[in-house]
Amino acid sequence: VRPKVVIARHLREEVMRLFDRPDLDVVAWPSETEACDRNWLLNNIAGATGVLVMLTDKVNAELLDAAGPTLCVVSTMSVGYEHVDVQLLARRNVKLGYTPDVLTDAVADISVMLALMAGRNVRSTTNIVQNGDWPNYPWSPFGFCGPQLSTNWIHSTRTMGFIGFGRIAQATLKRLVPFGFTHCLYASNPSSLPNPTRDAEVAQKYGLREVRRVALDELARESDVVFVLAPGGPELYHIVNEQFLKQMKKTAVLVNTARGTLVDSEALAKALREGWLWGAGVDVVEGEPKVAADHPLVKEPRCVVLPHIGSATTETRLGMATTAAKNLIAGVLNEPMPVELKMTQ
């Protein structure tokens, strides 16, 4: 019998065409813009060998039970897998395909953009122009001044900090080198081994004075910009909290382009209001997309909030969709998947 695959979102035609093959029985949610209805998914996944999901679809016991023992592949069109119960998949011998690499540059781009926007008051100043208020704010010597991200005549050193130091963090690092950054600090999973050789190589490659793994407190104290680029999940819940924010430089900016759960929104809003740090740029918010106009971060003029568009370039999304499709097809046909997450039980 042909393996059944369920696609939880309509993708561009050129991607859907990949499923046009006689050896698959394909069931696809018809809309690209409207999220797949949960009940539709639970009903249609029965007896499926593989499923292609978005980061908005929870992959949990409910879904796996609805699929039954035939399920052997989950393919997510995302690099993140906070929505996937990875342990459960490992226990049930279900493989997970995901889409790293292809989105690294797009997310690094937007991370730098948010750092600049947060530092240079882009939110409040564009509002002024859009409201027709520019005439009331003629050019003034120190009007709208924010901290400078690049090295300058006052600051000959700049330190970038990363919470999580994977592919996207290192692509962001690379983009900051021409800004004159001199130091890089990062915090990463305490259970992973320190890698001073790799760190020295990265420092050497980019002409940085140091690349060093540090504790969160030192990261907060020393960084001029902090990028949150960790996977998320319960272990890292609110890793950026009051204690972290209190230690940041008053001129520093925080950027979160990873997962909303990593940052305590209430604490960040308070920190911005009270000037513990200069500004923040977030592409993800805990509880998204239920983030209303009265959300503390949306109300905070020093916070730029984007609706999770870090990877949203046409090129990157096509690459992610194509990778997700190829992962699914290879997985259900029992061929090596182009990009499989290596899971440890």
Judged by CB under 6 A, the chain residues 234 through 253 that form the site for ligand GLV are: none
Name the CA dihedral angle for 81, 86, 90, 91, rounded to a multiple of 10 degrees.
Answer: -160
* Complex with ligand GLV: residue 306 or 333, whichever CB lies closer: 306
Sign of the alpha-carbon dihedral angle for 272, 276, 281, 284: negative
The strand order across the sheet containing 50-53 reads 25-28, 4-7, 50-53, 73-76, 95-97
Q: Do the Cβ atoms of 245 and 221 come closer than 8 Å? A: no
Chain residue at closest Cβ approach to ligand GLV? 80
79 binds ligand GLV (CB under 6 A): yes
Judged by CB under 6 A, the chain residues 96 through 115 that form the site for ligand GLV are: 103
Q: Do the Cβ atoms of 83 and 76 come closer than 8 Å? A: yes
Q: Is 308 a catalytic residue?
A: yes
Judged by CB under 6 A, the chain residues 51 through 70 that form the site for ligand GLV are: 55
- Residue 274, C-beta contacts closer than 8 angstroms, at least 6 positions apart: none
Q: How many Cβ atoms sit within 10 Å of the Cβ of residue 168? A: 28
> 289 preceded by cis ω (within 30°)?
yes
Span interacting with ligand GLV, options 74-82, 123-131, 169-177, 287-295, rule CB under 6 A? 74-82
Query: Smallest distance, Å, CB 79 to ligand GLV?
Result: 4
Cα of first residue to Cα of last residue in the chain, in angstroms, is: 31
Q: Is 295 a catalytic residue?
A: no
Residue from 212, 213, 308, 317 carrying the catalytic annotation: 308
Which of 84, 115, 111, 114 shows the shortest CA–CA distance to 97?
A: 84
Query: Smallest distance, Å, CB 310 to ligand GLV?
Result: 6
Span interacting with ligand GLV, options 72-80, 142-150, 164-172, 237-245, rule CB under 6 A? 72-80
Of 6, 45, 51, 80, which lies in the binding site for ligand GLV, with binding defined by CB under 6 A? 80
Residue from 9, 158, 259, 302 carrying the catalytic annotation: 259
Query: Smallest distance, Å, CB 212 to ligand GLV?
Result: 27
Active site residues: 259, 288, 308
What is the contact surface with ligand GLV in residues (CB under 6 A)? 55, 78-80, 103, 310-311
